[in-house]
Structure 1
Amino acid sequence: MQTASVGVLIIHGFTATLESVMGLVDPLREMGVRVSVPVLRGHGADSPEMLRGVTWQDWMKDAETAFLELSQSVDRVFVVGHSMGGLIALNLAAKYRERIDGVVVAAPAIRLVSMLAPDRPLHFLTPILQSVVRNWDLKVAFSDPDEDGARVHYSWAPTDAIRSFFDLISFTHSRLHDISCPVLILHNRAEKTVLPESASIVYDNIATPEEDKELVWLERSEHQMFCDCEKERAIAIIVDYIRRKIAA
């Protein structure tokens, strides 16, 4: 099977480090595909302070630049996004309908557990909170206690960056009907960051034909699925999906 002309763009989540998605890289490269893993604006620094003043449009621009660069070197492109990266992947699919061969969204952050997020009861308070609270503490949840030491994202984030992330959620929800390429949705049934209903929202609202969209559930993992107790299964599901699409 010739895969030299295939590329995979992997997009990390909000406040995340590359460690959160690096488990995907080697298995994909072993298939012979080119892999691109950009660091989104404000991420990858020693301090979350680098996120202050950064907007979702900046993250979209960074991902789009990486996508266009990858597209110039391969004939077929797949996009994999985790959490907020899944939202960015969906927006790329909406914009570049004919240039993306498939999208994988892992725990797409379209509906958060946080009561302050879009479509949640206290979302109306976010502008007020932004005026009085500069930073929000973040927690990393793992179902596997052995993974608690993994540095997968910042320990806090500026409130203005979180509000911009919320704006991206609303914008992405409005664009779901513009997505028609093949899509795989991978989600965790019991996680405490992104509500499981997010998977159904994406599945039900994209324009992708029924035969070209798939929804797969993990039963035990928390939000950082590529670093948690079912990481081998999560990675294998995605690698197998891309292998099947290449063969087809």
Structure 2
Amino acid sequence: MQHGSAGVLIIHGFTATRDSVLPLVDPLESMGLRVSLPVLTGHGGVSPELLRGVKWQDWMKDVEKAFFELEASVDKVFLVGHSMGALLALNLAAKFQDRLEAVIAAAPAIHLVSLLAPERPLHALAPLLQRFIRNWDLKVAFSDPDVQSADLHYPWAPTDAIMSFFDLISFTASRLHDIRCPLFIIHNRHEKTVTADSAEIVYNGVSTPEDEKQLVWLERSEHQMFCDCEKERVIELIISYIRQRLVQ
């Protein structure tokens, strides 16, 4: 391990592929950073059927394993999580924050637009629907109509995996107050997957001091911000933040 070395653990979102966050890898590696981009259990396969029976605890094991491996090879570790990946990053922070340089949460999925999600009006009906609906269709939303989204996301997901994702949301919300490490949040103001107040819930819920947390808004992007119309700005925001942290 070289003195002053740093690494970034990137965590993709629910039903997403590595391609959904891949545009961030080359810019980070060009800075001399070691990048880890694990594929969460049930993801990256030929069929969403691989997600059936998978629990959020399985995803936590995946990211903990990746964190331990990265930590063993560098001095400083940054976490970058998108959507559900941001929730997993926040849980890593609650557990290992004294061993982290900072967490970057992109569109943290603590509050979903879906009326069946936790803290939404119809959430009580979600377990009942699980008895009758085995699969949920999914859409990948982009502001840029020219974006080819086929390889970024499963077209559907097993209902039981979605219910476990909902459990992760509730669990993460209960742990926000345990987080005190540096935090940088990037969120889309008008997207239709995660509500705008999700970023504010995370920002206000953590115990990170005011001078160690930031919230930046995107005005045009939809949920898949690393592949949408403001992707260059998103990448530059993250690169600049990490560069600033490394020179402190």
Same-fold call, TM > 0.5? yes
| Matched residue type, 2:209 | P
**What's the counterpart of residue 144 of structure 1?**
144
**What's the counterpart of residue 104 of structure 2?**
104
Deviations 1:186-241 (A, max 9, x none): 00000000001000000001000000000000000000000000000001101110
TM-score, normalised by the number of residues in structure 2: 0.98
Please report how far the alpha carbon of residue 5 of structure 1 lies from its aligned counterpart in structure 2 after TM superposition: 1.1
Give me the whole-angstrom Cα distance separating, in 2, the residues matched to 1:162 and 1:210. 33
Structure 1 runs, 4 residues or longer, greater than 6 Å off: none
8 Å contact kept, 1:4–1:32: no
TM-score, normalised by the number of residues in structure 1: 0.98
Identical positions, percent: 69
Please report how far the alpha carbon of residue 3 of structure 1 lies from its aligned counterpart in structure 2 after TM superposition: 8.2
Q: Does 1:160 align with 2:160?
A: yes
How many residues align structurally? 247
**What's the counterpart of residue 63 of structure 1?**
63
| Matched residue type, 2:176 | L
Deviations 1:148-203 (A, max 9, x none): 44421100000000000000000000000010010000000000000010000000
| Matched residue type, 2:8 | V
**What's the counterpart of residue 51 of structure 2?**
51
Aligned partner of residue 146 in structure 2, secondary structure: helix
Give me the whole-angstrom Cα distance separating, in 2, the residues matched to 1:120 and 1:157. 20
| Matched residue type, 1:172 | T
8 Å contact kept, 1:3–1:246: no
Aligned partner of residue 97 in structure 1, secondary structure: helix
8 Å contact kept, 1:4–1:34: no
Aligned partner of residue 215 in structure 1, secondary structure: strand
**What's the counterpart of residue 219 of structure 1?**
219
Gaps of 5+ in 2: none
**What's the counterpart of residue 7 of structure 2?**
7
Kindly report the root-mean-square deviation, in angstroms, between the aligned alpha carbons of the 2 structures.
1.0
Gaps of 5+ in 1: none
**What's the counterpart of residue 178 of structure 2?**
178
Aligned partner of residue 124 in structure 2, secondary structure: helix
